[in-house]
Structures are given as structure tokens and as C-alpha cells.
Amino acid sequence: MQLHVRYPGEKFVIRDEREWPLARTQWTRFYLNPTDQTLGCEPRSGVALEYETNGDGLSFVMPPQDKEVEITGPVAAKLFVSSDTTDADLFLALRLFAPDGKEVLFIGSNDPCVPIALGWLRASHRKLDPARSLPYRSYHTHDEAWPLKPREPVELDIEIWPTSIVVPPGYRLVLNVRGKDYDHGLGDVGFANAMYRMTGIGPFLHNHPQDRPAAIFGGRNRLHFEPGREPYLLLPIIPPTPGK
């Protein structure tokens, strides 16, 4: 198997591998800290954080590292979420920011400026198939809806697209938890005469009023941080090769 390991600036290094996910993966939990909205290795509890679903949501930042960090493989998140209504849509974006504060974007399959990876889940479709689910890949059955009870938190396992990115020293990795589609904020960066606006996710918007009525999906969601139920981001960290 040939892997193209990605670096900022659309640089790729070709590397041969034997399996997927990589056998040497160090599956590492980075816990969301409600106090300073960072990502760290220790579980953190605290008060719930609210966000408006029509805004940019909440961002949790990993402090810059002094050495490069390779993230290659499937990504996942475990969140504990409640809503004012009977449902909630979760939009997750794994993002990278350069030392100057600008977001690092990449050429995607249907959009020229995309983040590292994206993930989605409708809370009422949180039911899992335990026989098929893995810690890094939740398998949702989608065979029945489990409505929320307003303001009562539920556990959500959210798959984020597999990726390969080397985070250079000084760069910041960010998990953005949103109630609507990701948008890089640069406006339409698409090509002339394109069939759709390109704002970071290509044509696949989730904004149809029949699918997302404002009475249910236009309010406020909360992330909960209770002892023993601390949310985290699961990353596939690849250790450096000896001598590197």
C-alpha cells in the first residue's frame, strides 16, 4: 500500500505501508477542556458550554508542539450533548492554523479550500451497532430515531474522515464543534461558472428547511463535561521513525 503523507502547502511524501490503519498507530485521546477550550491529555470536567447552531460553534485548540506530529488514520470524537429541542445536528471540523493565525486549507475533491477533515451526526441517529463499531470507527445503524429529551445530555460517537497530516512545530490543531456546515469564511473561492458556491465543503450543504426545520435545529446546543463522561477527540498519532 502506498501512502501520500500530507504536509501544509500541498506537499506530499510517498511512503509504503502494509496495513490500514497502521499497526504502529498510537491511539491518543485529547480531552476537551471547558475552562480554556484547549485539547489536552487529561480528562476535564466542568460546566456545560452552549453555542448557537447558526453560529460558528465552539473551538478547542491543541497547544503548539515543539516537534512535528503526524496524524494518519481514522479520527473520532466522543461528545456528550444536549439541546433545547428534541434533536441536534453535530458538524465537526478538524482544522489547522499556522503560527500567524491563518487557517491552513487544502485542495479537496470538490472544493479547492477544505479543512483537514469533517464529521457529522444527527443526535437522534446515535444508535450504534456494537458488533461493527470500533473505538476509531463508530457504526450507526440508522434504523430508528431516538429523539432527545430537551436539556438532557446523550452520548454521541462521531466518525471523522480518515486523514494524513503532519503538523509542523508551532502550528495549532483545532476541533471545531458546530451546529451548521463548516465555512472557511473566505467567501466563494470556486472557479468561474462553477455549478455551486465553494466555501469549504463543496456542494454538500445541510441547509434544506424541510430536513432542518428551524424550530428544532435553529436553537442552542450544549457540550457537557461531567466526571466520568468527559468528551474527547481520538487521534491516530504515528510515532517518528528512529533517528528522525
Three-state SS for 125? helix
Cell output for 122: 444527527
- pLDDT number for residue 242: 63
- pLDDT number for residue 228: 94
For the residues 72-95, what does the mean pLDDT come to?
98
Q: Are 180 and 206 in contact (CB under 8 A)?
A: yes
pLDDT tens for each residue of 160-202? 999 999 999 999 999 999 999 999 999 998 878 888 989 999 8
- Phi then psi dihedrals of residue 103, to 5 deg: -70, 135
Query: What are the distances in angstroms from CA 218 to CA 64, 91, 120, 170?
Result: 34, 14, 16, 36
Alpha helices in the chain (DSSP H): 214-217
Domain contains 1: no
Contacts of 64 (CB under 8 A, 6+ apart): 99, 169, 170, 171, 172
Mean pLDDT for all residues in the chain: 95
Helix (H) or strand (E) segment spanning residue 204: none
Domain contains 207: no
Domain contains 3: no
Task: Please determine, for residue 40, whether its predicted confidence score (pLDDT) is greater than 90.
Answer: yes
pLDDT tens for each residue of 3-23? 999 999 999 999 999 999 999
| Residue with grid cell 441517529, as numbered in its chain | 125
Torsion of CA 167, 170, 175, 181, to 10 degrees: -80
Three-state SS for 176? strand
Domain contains 224: yes
Domain contains 8: no
CATH number at residue 73: 2.60.120.260
Task: Please determine, for residue 244, whether its predicted confidence score (pLDDT) is greater than 60.
Answer: no
Comparing C-alpha atoms, which of 188, 195, 235, 217 is closest to residue 54? 217
Domain contains 10: no
State which residues form the domain around 175. Answer: 24-187+196-202+214-238
Number of structural domains the chain divides into: 1
Domain contains 5: no
Task: Please determine, for residue 243, whether its predicted confidence score (pLDDT) is greater than 90.
Answer: no
Three-state SS for 174? strand
